[in-house]
Amino acid sequence: MIERGRNMAHLEKEYKNLLTKKKKKKKKKILKKKKKYNFLKEEFQSIFMKDITQTNQYYDCHQQLENNRSALRIRLIEGQKTGEITLKLPQSDCEVIEITEELPTEQLQWWVEEDIFLLPTSIKLALEEQGIELSNISPTATLTTHRLEGMLSPGCLLVLDESHYAGQTDYEIEMEVEDLEAGKEVFLEILNRHGITPQKPISKIRRALLATKNLG
């Protein structure tokens, strides 16, 4: 689903492809992937209606969410008066239920700075339905993304991400769709046209967590 409201839950259908390979992170390979990112950005620059920088602070409690392939985050968007708390619950490889609550940026910023996290009722109930009870929630990783997005066609949102976390940078193309089959055909055509090997990435939170743990 493309539109987001103040308090809502929706099933997100999406395809993702990482432009930076996880293995052999040599400078030349990263530069090559950045070139592909720049080519994509240039090709679709006419449709990009949103250009934002957002920082995600991820949370967990004794790896309960990580072990459940779920994610809990606070998202602060540069220059905006509201931010988001989101719980992500994977349903399949391409489908994720997202429960999002919008709150004032000042409040969320204070929570992040003071290591405070208060679960909104909608998210708390969703976790309880999954058999997860969280207490003593603590931050686990931080990731900042420069995002470009625009409608490629009705029901098809194209997203380009440049993400920074734990001293690493990666580039990613995403497509949020209403029809998975039709969206897959379009997505693969874009990858093929740019010589990009289809490779479903692990989630942003997993990449950030692994990189943060490696720093330790």
Q: Environment class of residue 57 by beta-carbon count within 10 Å: exposed (0-12), middle (13-18) or buried (19+)?
A: buried
pLDDT of residue 3: 40
Residue 1, pLDDT score: 35
Average pLDDT along the chain, 216 residues, taken 10 residues at a time? 54 87 53 85 95 96 88 95 94 88 94 87 87 83 97 95 94 94 94 89 90 81
> How far apart are the C-alpha atoms of 43 and 56, rounded to whole Å?
28
Q: Is the pTM of this model over 0.75?
A: yes
Q: Write down the pLDDT at residue 11.
A: 84
Domains of the chain: 7-215 (2.40.320.10)
